[in-house]
């Protein structure tokens, strides 16, 4: 298994601004304003090709603990 490459840190303020601008709520408990942002970016890769994938930021609902990916290229900032 290849060692994962180090990734750049996440601009947490930009992600929080994005979440507030689009009023993103938790799909599980519908909580608004309860989302925490991971400080490291990761990738979701295809099961057939490790080179094919998207960069994501993991967002967690502080209310219920639900984890959800947010595509990094969708965040303006």
Residue 5 has pLDDT above 50, yes or no: no
Q: Give pLDDT, residue 2.
A: 32
pTM: 0.71
Tell me the domain boundaries of the chain.
12-74
Between 63 and 74, the more confident residue is 63
Phi, psi for 19 (deg, rounded to 5): -65, -40
The string of pLDDT tens digits covering residues 20-59 is 888 888 999 998 888 999 898 888 888 777 677 888 999 9
């Amino acid at each position: 298994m290849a060692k994962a490459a180090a990734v750049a840190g996440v601009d947490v303020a930009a992600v929080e601004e994005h979440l507030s601008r689009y009023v993103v709520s938790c799909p599980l408990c519908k909580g608004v304003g309860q989302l925490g942002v991971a400080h490291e970016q990761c990738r979701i890769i295809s099961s057939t090709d490790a080179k094919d994938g998207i960069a994501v930021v993991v967002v967690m609902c502080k209310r219920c603990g639900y984890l959800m990916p947010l595509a990094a290229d969708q965040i303006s900032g």
